[in-house]
Structure 1
Amino acid sequence: MVSSSTFTVLFSLLFPLEIKQVTKIIKGARAGSLANLTFQYVGFDEPSKSTILSWLSNPTKEPPPRQAFVIARAYEKSYEFVVSLSHGSIISQHIYNGTGFPLLNLEEQSAANDLAFKYPPFIKSIKKRGLDIKDVVPAVFTVGCEVVPIPKAEGTEHRGSKMRPPFAAETKPITVVQPHGPSFKINGHTIRRHSLASHKECNFKGSVDLK
């Protein structure tokens, strides 16, 4: 029987020290050939469900190895790595030749934001909508990640003081009350309700600014 604490440690997202360990391993192995390497994503490489179930059926065996999946950029190419945290080495690596580009790191997001606010057509579209450009917060995505065209100004008014009928159907109030507290308990990433337990994590593949 595997305790919930053991399961949580084995299959949690990477800890800060592990992220540093992963980047150090890759930089050490690729220092000469990929000198300008930037890290777009560093995250836990979760084992397959079948692998986990196989181990749970016989927990006396060695648990699945703790590994990291990495997306990095160098010389206008995207690289994918799988790194073993247990052995401190790169298990696999290859150049990604599929469609789209990986997420931007923080420096790239900042540069893209600055470029947008200096682009005359963008500035003109903001003014046409009667908005103050200082109130605009951009969201930056790479091509292939999420492409959403900016709608035309007409018919996109969202300010209540400017809207005219017909309005959307009114949502009636709703109240949910549990006077004795919730029926579940949260311990770290584990949620328990009666005899059921689930391990929840938000694996947001956002950019990581690592140097």
Structure 2
Amino acid sequence: MIGRLNESRFPDLNNEALSTESQTQNAISKTQSSHLNKTRMKQLHTNSCGAVSLLCSAIELKTGKDLKTSLQCEQKLYRITSGSGPNDDLTKAGYSLPHHIIQAADQQGLNSALYFLPNEYSDKLMHLYPAAREACERQGVTVNQTALPHPHENQRVLKVLQTASGGLHWVMMRPDQTYMDPATGKDAQSFGQLNQNIRQASFGSESYQETGICLVLTPKQE
């Protein structure tokens, strides 16, 4: 998980209004899963879901510099995505803000674009972390106040989800609308199955909801 916020739990939002499946299902083509290189990994640190989602994305897009699904590679990226110093204890590190993920992605040969669909949840997150958006813009990253566009085969999407426990969590989505969840280390064929997997893994105590915030990663040579 990315970690819990020190705020009261955000209100439940209308899934139909926020769900990428309901908003972009008609726009996203069903790329054959067999044509995509797929990598999965279970996060080894409590809050390293953003780093693991990026790690698997870079491997799938074949831009990662000597990356593999290992603790060493997870820690290498997590130190950047968490904003930790070289000597900081990663077991105490926090969650990954978008601008730190963008920095790590850049080092792995990936360009980033930030999308957020204006709604009660994304607006509150942007209010809580105004410096994060400003940091993205300073890095030359386009901030799009729209729903997720059609991801191409050479792209991966890192999505921010709300958890039932009131925290945030990063997952990776592919162009064929399958997901890789670092919390379980499993693939899911749909957002519904993604929720089924985490409910099963948490004995029914956890679930996910869309926030409308995501990063689209594209190899620099494209």
* Structure 1 or 2: more helix by fraction: 2
The structure with more radius of gyration: 1
**Which band: TM-score by shorter chain?**
under 0.3
Relative contact order (alpha carbons < 8 A, sep ≥ 6): 1 or 2 greater? 2
TM-score by length of 2: 0.18
Q: Under a length normalisation based on structure 1, what TM-score does the superposition of the two structures give?
A: 0.19
